[in-house]
Structure 1
Amino acid sequence: MLERWFADGVVPGAVALVAREGQIEAAAVGELDRESPVRIASVGKPVTAALVLQLVDDGVLALDDPVERWLPELADRRVVRTPGAPVTDTVPAVRPFTVRDVLESRAGYGFPADFTLPALAPLVAELGQGPPQPQRVAPPDEWTATLAGIPMLHQPGEAWLYNTCSDLQGVLAARATGQPLEHLLAERLFEPLGMPDTGFHAPPGSLSPLYRPGPDGTLMVADPPDGQWSTPPPFPSGAGGLVSTLDDVFTFLRMLRSGGRVKDGRRVLSPHAVRLMTTDHLSDRQRADSKLFLAGQGWGYGGSVDVARREPWNVPGRYGWVGGTGTAAHVVRSTGLVTVLLTQREMTDPTPPPLMREFWRYAAGG
């Protein structure tokens, strides 16, 4: 399957893994192999959520704590009067948003289905939200101060909104512990799990290019090997800044499949934390309003949760997410299935591209 998409020029390289019933099948083509570091983009969102839940497990954070306790810049929030109102027409937030709101992506900040709403403009222009650009985003304290000047799109808990809450999770974890996000992730997740090739930048010369399809389908280099992921970023993005490898991503998903344990039996997440991550928390209305991103499925902490059998691969409880750099990673805890697909061809919209969908169909046995 991968060979055909490579031969047709759809992807310059791809690497994939399917693990089921004790068997692991992996394949690679073109510029990528099993050891290649890859910009995983939003596939890193579950990793950030797992870190925050570790801090909840350890009592550093509590789910119903107001985030302003650690990020006082975000106290006394203002919300646009209606989603379509100008950013100058605001009302007070009815309550502070909490750690739970941020984990559920319902804190009031982020992308809805309608990208024309006025309150989104400063998220993009001033905060750098959108496709990952790690070297062009301000450091965490400056980023948070900028966010404080942007009104929320919805009241806390009212709507599911994409992306910004995952960055907030990373900023919150760092502020609550007094440690940089990159150090926290290495100490609490990457080292215990055995994910040596995951971080916010890659060794010089190790990355392949990131490609972007033009209007006629021709691939152009969007980020060269010595580009934005080749040096430590000023803002380590919990929403989409990580570089990883096929086996490191598989290792993380295997931990979730095992209920929070690493391969040797040590626990890094409580069973309760894993359940929270992999359970849908959205209302029917919120799922319907988020169809552009979620295609009718739900959202746990850091990733989608399948609730409807719309396609052969949609198994209720299937958890994971896709990245705008052409990446996808999922686990079905009830069956033990784990799937990982890594390319470096940017997606042009939130809809999974044909290669991704064919890979999922193959993994589902179709």
Structure 2
Amino acid sequence: MASMLRIPVERGEVAGLVALVARRDAVHVEVMGAQDVAAGTPMRRDTIFRIASMTKAVLAAAAMVLVEETRLRLDDPIDPWLPELADRKVLRALDGPVEDTVPARRPISLRDLLTMRFGLGVIMAPPGAYPIQQAMLQAGVAPSPDPIRFTADDYMRRLGSLPLVHQPGERWLYHTGYDVLSVLIARATGMALGDFLAERIFAPLGMADTGFHVPEAKLDRLATCYRTDDDGRLSLQDAARGGEWSRPPPFGTELVSTADDYLAFARMLLDGGRHGRHRILSRPAVALMMTDQISQAQKDASPFFPGFWDSNGWGFGGAVTTRRDDVAASPGRYGWHGGFGTTFMVDPKEELVVLLLLQRLMRGPDDARISSDALTLAYQAIDD
């Protein structure tokens, strides 16, 4: 595994990486490359990474904590906590003006947010192809790799000024439902989201380096983040000191974490919600998270990366593999990627966790090649 993963590092395609494979009680970790190229700082096992959309699984788990306590219900309207989304209007046509709407047929539910079927999200078309894309961009709520730079209340006010693209529950649209979920969890608990996650998930799991920013005392472990320029060279995307994750955000939606911290979360899922003497979730709640929630008709009507729906569905917080069409495509496998090159995967059948943490902004589905190779290498070694 190490020799193959070292190739993109040696080619300069990525600055460095941490790869982790855990099966039953065995854990194998590979650390290679640089945490910061200019400074020559070597990568470490405890390097802190921006995990971006790997946060979705954590938010889904937090939501299920509230469902199990009956503080939230999957199919109840979220209007009491998110009045900005009450009485929604829905575009009459995707390519129509944002003023041309019809009433929503029903309120938005927690299930709609968890399954990203609440009606807003990434439009799979060139930027500016439709008026709603431009409206989302002008309102500051278009999905982006950059952190949201205003408060949660301001975000909801801006989002509430826009119509939905589709009726609640009708189609899958990536991402935005989880920004809304962040606000819902905070308002339903009466706590800052980071405080609730720390109390109910991070502390019981021992995830001491996970949060919405990196404190000053730990900034020497935050990986510098890069992007690939048109000439294939790496250039700075986000620095450690003075960068976006070096201070508390006004609205935290995407976490930083380490390989061992996220391994604790992934193993909790693998163990049916339990971690040592702590039970975070019930087995049925974890099973629900890891069950495909998207109908075939919804997949057919919901464009995403080419071929994605051929062997994947979406549960709560992550993709669910639905059929084996590759070495690593184990049916029932659950996991997701992050926009800076991170990946996690949990496979209950094989009792397997795979993590790959990078620090390079993804520009499209081709950037997932390294993580795909890491998964293949992990599965081909299962029987060794």
TM over 0.5: yes
Structure 2 CA distance for partners of 1:294 and 1:303, relative to 1, 3 Å? farther
Partner of residue 232, structure 1: 248
Q: Is the 8 A contact 2:141 2:155 kept in 1?
A: no
> Is the counterpart of residue 4 in structure 1 residue 7 in structure 2?
yes
Give how far 1:286 is off. Answer: 2.4
Structure 2 CA distance for partners of 1:290 and 1:20, relative to 1, 3 Å? farther
Q: Name whichever of 18-27 and 250-259 sits farther off.
A: 18-27
Partner of residue 346, structure 2: 331
Give how far 1:294 is off. Answer: 7.2
Q: How does 1:1-366 map to 2 (within 5 A)?
A: 1-30=4-33, 31=35, 32-115=43-126, 116-134=129-147, 136-204=148-216, 205-206=219-220, 207-226=222-241, 227-237=243-253, 241-262=254-275, 264-288=276-300, 289-292=302-305, 295-296=308-309, 297-365=312-380
Letter in 2 for 1:224: A
In structure 2, what is the Cα distance between the partners aligned to 1:125 and 1:294? 31
Give how far 1:315 is off. Answer: 0.9
Aligned residues: 361
Q: Which runs of 4+ in 1 moved over 4 A?
A: none
Give how far 1:3 is off. Answer: 2.1
Letter in 2 for 1:18: V
Structure 2 CA distance for partners of 1:352 and 1:217, relative to 1, 3 Å? closer
Letter in 1 for 2:9: F
- Quick one: percent identity of the two aligned structures? 43
SS at match of 1:329: strand
Q: Is the 8 A contact 2:133 2:142 kept in 1?
A: no
Structure 2 CA distance for partners of 1:265 and 1:351, relative to 1, 3 Å? farther
Q: Is the 8 A contact 2:194 2:211 kept in 1?
A: yes
In structure 2, what is the Cα distance between the partners aligned to 1:223 and 1:348? 15
TM-score normalised over the length of structure 2 = 0.91
Give how far 1:352 is off. Answer: 4.6
Residues 312-347 of structure 1 show CA distances to partners (whole Å, capped at 9, x for unaligned) of 111111101001100000101121111000000111
Letter in 2 for 1:91: V
Residues 129-160 of structure 1 show CA distances to partners (whole Å, capped at 9, x for unaligned) of 323322x4210111111111011010001000
SS at match of 1:292: coil
Q: Is the 8 A contact 1:111 1:163 kept in 2?
A: yes
Q: Is the 8 A contact 2:122 2:142 kept in 1?
A: no
Residues 252-281 of structure 1 show CA distances to partners (whole Å, capped at 9, x for unaligned) of 10000000001x132111112101110000
In structure 1, what is the Cα distance between the partners aligned to 2:212 and 2:371? 24
Unaligned stretches of 5+ residues in structure 1: none
Q: Is the 8 A contact 2:141 2:158 kept in 1?
A: no
In structure 2, what is the Cα distance between the partners aligned to 1:67 and 1:213? 40
Q: Is the 8 A contact 2:136 2:162 kept in 1?
A: yes
Residues 141-184 of structure 1 show CA distances to partners (whole Å, capped at 9, x for unaligned) of 11111111011010001000110001111100001111111111
Structure 2 CA distance for partners of 1:169 and 1:65, relative to 1, 3 Å? same
Give how far 1:6 is off. Answer: 1.1
In structure 1, what is the Cα distance between the partners aligned to 2:76 and 2:113? 11
Structure 2 CA distance for partners of 1:335 and 1:187, relative to 1, 3 Å? same
SS at match of 2:111: helix
Unaligned stretches of 5+ residues in structure 2: 36-42
Q: Is the 8 A contact 1:293 1:351 kept in 2?
A: no
Cα RMSD over matched residues?
1.5
Structure 2 CA distance for partners of 1:33 and 1:125, relative to 1, 3 Å? farther
In structure 2, what is the Cα distance between the partners aligned to 1:243 and 1:80? 36
Give how far 1:22 is off. Answer: 2.8
In structure 2, what is the Cα distance between the partners aligned to 1:323 and 1:121? 24
Letter in 2 for 1:260: G
Q: Is the 8 A contact 1:43 1:329 kept in 2?
A: yes
Q: Is the 8 A contact 1:108 1:158 kept in 2?
A: yes
